[in-house]
Amino acid sequence: MKSITRQKPFSEVVQLLDRFDRVYIIGCGTCATMARTGGRDEVLEMKNRLQETGKLVTGWTVIPTACDEMTEAAARENEGAIKNANCSLVMACALGVHRVNSYLNNKAVIPALDTLFIGMEDSPGNFYEACAQCGQCVLGETAGICPLTACNKGLLNGPCGGTNNGKCEVDKEKDCAFTLIYQRLKEQGRLDLMRKYHPPKNYQVVPRPRIINLG
């Protein structure tokens, strides 16, 4: 599982940093490194580009996993450089941004990335969204293919009228989720499931923000 991110356009980063002249940059050694959006290379590139625009970069670090409590140790270790800056630019997914925020709450924390989805990697560098975290898993009856994620309309009761040669009407490069589900259920001898009525989803299982306490 990886939190898939995309770098914001540099112009947007510059606009977000408009009122800050001294910046500390924080990258992440896990997901953002794999997604090539906030690893060491990207952090250094960001540093150079910001310096070119006249910003003073007081320091940088790549936290092994920006979303966990190691961030606190990293924040302490780099306290001087962080204090010397008037904001932190975080090149991690939004979880990393939140984590940093919780330790540096007297200073502005600016995200440099947009968090897109929880992705799986099927070939090096190719990530796809497998789970929409809907809180009510239907995979048991959909041959392991998630229609909420793989269908552009998130339908539950079968394909819309727009399937064309197994492709989706919204994106002709993309397989129709229900054609895939149909074929796989057929192979599994479970086609009767295509006739089953799925009632409206219970969106109450995903109150926002979602909180769970294992303590």
Partner 1 sequence: MKPESKLEKVLSSGHFAVTGELGPPKSADLETLKHHAEAMRHYVESYNITDNQTAIVRTSSIGVAATLIQMGLEPNVQMTVRDRNRICLQSDLLGAVSFGVRNFLCLQGDHAKFGNEPQSKNVYDLDSMQLLQAVRKIRDEGVFIGGEKLEHPLPRIFIGAVANPFADPFEYRPLRLAKKVAAGAQFVQTQCIFDLERFEKWMEKVRELGLHKKVYILGGVTPIKSIGAARYMQNNVSGMIVPDALIERLKGAQDKKKEGLNIAVETIQRLKEIEGVAGVHVMAIAWEEVVPEIVERAGLYPRPRVE
Considering the complex, state which of residue 56 and residue 139 has its C-beta at the smaller distance from partner 1.
139
Output the DSSP codes for 145-160: --HHHHSTT--SSS--
Give min distance, CB of 199 to partner 1, in A. Answer: 7
Specify whether the CB–CB gap between 72 and 78 falls below 8 A: no
Per-residue x/- track, 123-162, partner 1 (CB under 8 A) = -----------------------------xxxxxxxxxxx
Question: Measuring CA to CA, which residue among 66, 73, 75, 71 is closest to residue 95?
Answer: 66
Distance from C-alpha of 24 to C-alpha of 70, rounded to nearest angstrom: 17
What order of strands is seen across the sheet that includes strand 108-111? 56-63, 22-28, 87-91, 108-111
Name which of residues 159 to 198 contact partner 1 (CB under 8 A). 159-167, 169-170, 179, 182-183, 194-195, 197-198
Considering the complex, state which of residue 172 and residue 210 has its C-beta at the smaller distance from partner 1.
172
Considering the complex, state which of residue 59 and residue 158 has its C-beta at the smaller distance from partner 1.
158
If binding is defined by CB under 8 A, does position 199 make contact with partner 1?
A: yes
Considering the complex, state which of residue 86 and residue 183 has its C-beta at the smaller distance from partner 1.
183
Rounded to 5 degrees, φ, ψ at 208 are -115, 140
**Interface residue list for partner 1 (CB under 8 A):** 152-167, 169-170, 179, 182-183, 194-195, 197-201, 203
